[in-house]
Every structure is written in structure tokens, then in C-alpha cells.
Amino acid sequence: MEPTRGEISRDAVDLVYWIWPGGDPPVLLLHGIGNYGRYWDLFADAIAGRLRLAAPDARGHGESGRPDDGYAPEDFVGDALAVLDAAGIARAILVGHSMGGLHSIHLAAGHPERVQALAIVDASPEPMPAGSERARRLLTERPARFADRAGARAYLERTSAGYSDAVYRNRLEFAFRDENGGLVWRSDPDALERIMSARSPHADRWAALREIRCPTLVVRGTRSNVLADDVARRMVAELNDGTLLELDAGHNVALERPRELAEAAVALAERAPS
């Protein structure tokens, strides 16, 4: 099912978001650094209209604006609230992956009236060094331009091997834009640098996690290089109402196990307080 495209402006930053129609309760999906709202396409296909979904392109990513500054967690939280307002969503199930997972922690802690339940997908208050270094390398040392789609796909398959053809086709369609006959990244390199330098301290992330009161599902890929097993279990222990789900996946759980993640989201929605 193809989503509809929406656009709003917040503090002079244009924000693009995508809506998949479906039932209640609505779900807000927050993607990770370097990605885009349509990252959730495979997940949306697995939801199959059972829930209404909204997924923004985060500032500096996708089709959203690229301000010179304003890349702290609170800026992304403000954007998420603005998208909820624009979509007419008073309260939502919140599903955040990686960077989006960390932002979802701050959103659920700071604005509990807007969040019915939360799924933190392979996001860690204390990321593993291997995953952090890989993300830094892929985001800051990537080629700026590809001559054609074949070259871009070869790069994706070389640096992120083992995904399905559907994932690579999604990446080619939404991670890049055409420019003068070639392909360039939609995510802005300056924005990525600013996001990485503006991350909240580990202690602040743990403190925000402890403030969350809604049902919260911590999802970990068992082959993740970001969320360690012991950290995931500590997250669940420190949450007011936490549950752990481990799936056979790497960091990008929604790309490797979209059906299992979708079923977990539906189950979370069913037990969320109205």
C-alpha cells in the first residue's frame, strides 16, 4: 500500500511525513540516522492496514528541510509532536529505531500525554563501540555521488550485505535523489555530523528512560552491534512497564524481520491503555 505524503513547516523547517491508512490506535514511526520515513515500507506492508501509520522524514533527511543548526534531541522531539498535530493524532503508539528510538525515549518521557505505548527498536542508551564506529564511518566516509543506480546498488550491497532485493530497491528509491544525471544522498552530511555531535549524554538517556510510564517494548536484534544483551535487559529492568523482544536480526530489525516487528507492534497496540 502506497502512503500519502504530507508536509508542514515548523520554525522555518519544512517537514515531510508519510501516512498509511489503517485502524486505531495510530502509530508514529521514527527512523534512524541516515534513513528516511519510507524506511518503514516493509513494516507497513506487514501491518496491512491494521493500524494507521505516520512516518516523518527527520530534519536533515529524506525530503525534509536541512537547517544549518537545530539537531539536538529536543529539536527532533518538537518535530515529532508537530507531525502528530498535523496528522490529527492526539495520542499514538510510538515506534523508534536507533536514533529515532533515542528520540522516542525523550518524547515519551517528556510528553506522556501523547504516547500510549512505546517500542524502542535496537536503540541503546549506551551503544556498543563497534556499532557507533561503523555508523560514523558509513555516514561520514561514504561517496558523495554515484554515476548511476548500478553503482549505488553495488555500494549498498558491499557495505550492507545480506538484505533482500526489496530492501535494496527501497534504499535506491528513497535514500538517493537524482542530480545532474547521477545519484546523491538525500541525507545531508552536515546534518549527520551535527546530529552525532549533539547527542545527549548516556546519563540523560537513562534518566529519561526511568521517567517513562507507558507500556514499553525493547526490541533487540540478536546480531546487533548497537544494543548489547546486558544493556537491553537493564533497560527493561529500569522501565516502569518494560518487556524485551529479541529477534534474529542485526541492527535494522524492521528490514530483516518486518513481519515479526509488525506483529509485536499490533500486540503492543492491543494492550496499550486508551
CATH superfamily assigned to domain 4-128+187-271:
Alpha/Beta hydrolase fold, catalytic domain (3.40.50.1820)
- Separation of alpha carbons 247 and 223, rounded Å: 9
Check pLDDT > 80 for residue 101.
yes
Residue ranges covered by each domain of the chain: 4-128+187-271
Q: Which residue, among 131, 149, 127, 168, has the nearest Cα to 256 in the 3D structure?
A: 168
pLDDT band at 198 (very low <50, low <70, confident <90, very high): confident
pLDDT tens digits for 131-159?
889 988 988 899 999 999 999 999 999 99
58-86 confidence digits (pLDDT tens): 999 999 999 999 999 999 999 999 999 99
Return mean pLDDT, the chain. Answer: 96
- Residue 78's pLDDT is 98
For the segment 1-23, what is each residue's pLDDT rounded down to a tens digit? 799 999 999 999 999 999 999 99
- Which pLDDT score is estimated for 224? 96
Quick check: 260 pLDDT over 80? Answer: yes
